[in-house]
Amino acid sequence: MDWKDKSVLVTGGTGSFGRKFVDVMMESYHPHRLIVYSRDELKQHEMRTSGLDYLNLRYFIGDVRDLPRLKRAFNGVDIVVHAAALKQVPACEYNPMEAIKTNILGSSNVVDAALDAGVEKVLALSTDKAVNPVNLYGATKLAAEKLMVQSNAYAGGMTTRFSCVRYGNVVGSRGSVVPLFIQQRSKGEITLTDERMTRFWISLDQGVQFVIRCIEEMQGGEVFVPKIPSMKMVDLAHALAPSAEIKIIGIRPGEKLHEVLISEDEARSTIELEDMYVVQPAEALWFGHAWTDAGKPLPDGYHYASDNNEDWLTVDEIQKMVAPIEIKMEKGMRA
């Protein structure tokens, strides 16, 4: 794909992923036009004044809940990365309809606007919490995934295609536990909900590069899942605060001991490649099934969970991953 000929829009463009995506695209891929679509004018201003201010970069204020505004923003756009979401689990539990309006109805609006505008490709960001969800956030992301995948049926003879990427916790993203642990260590005590807890872990840069690759390779209807390492939360605590006491406070409502990226049921339609899995659409009504010959099927009963992963981060590897976040936080505290 020649990105220089493409107009690209990212919803939620002022979030952790959006900022990194914009930075990488402008530095390495040089799209014809890149549009940051978000509802926060202050964050857009901060992005612009931090150096993300190019002639081909546009800042568009709008909410994914606003379909007419999305249609206006999508005019002339070739590729949409849908990253906008309410993702804080406690906030979603306390404000359930707000989560539904943004994560589900907002995704539906993205689909409608993309179809009406003739967008070529839409790639939506999902999460391991969408697999066998136990909280409202995960349930809304599952619904958003299904919306994206099944909306390929609406495309008919048009060129618009919809796919998803699904990965685990992002190191240092907004709401991440890493900044919390860094703040707590000054008091000599780290709070952990359960010492058995494991999570999938991916860096922001890895997530962005994976999304770009999937946009280039998607056919429509796939859910792309990267092969990423797991981490024990107790190891994260030791990596960030080796001398601090760990206090177990009990698992919270809506929280799992282990996360799942591919369920046993999904595995039946999943193809394994060297560095990722491709969940093909279960119903072969349209497209997205050409991956079968590119990899191998998964064995019966397989599921990809954070506790049965073959790849685990050591304490030293975790320390290397979180070091840039620690430096950034220390600079922020000195400023």
Catalytic positions are 129
- Which residue is it, tokens 């990253």? 83
- The total number of residues shown for the chain amounts to 335
β partners of residue 245? 189
d(CA 268, CA 146): 17
Tokens at 306, concatenated: 């954070």
d(CA 229, CA 264): 19
Contact 154, 118 (CB under 8 A): no
Q: DSSP of 146-207, one letter per residue?
A: HHHHHTHHHHTTS--EEEEEEE-EETT-TT-HHHHHHHHHTTTEEEES-TT-EEEEE-HHHH
d(CA 313, CA 319): 10
3-state secondary structure of 59: strand
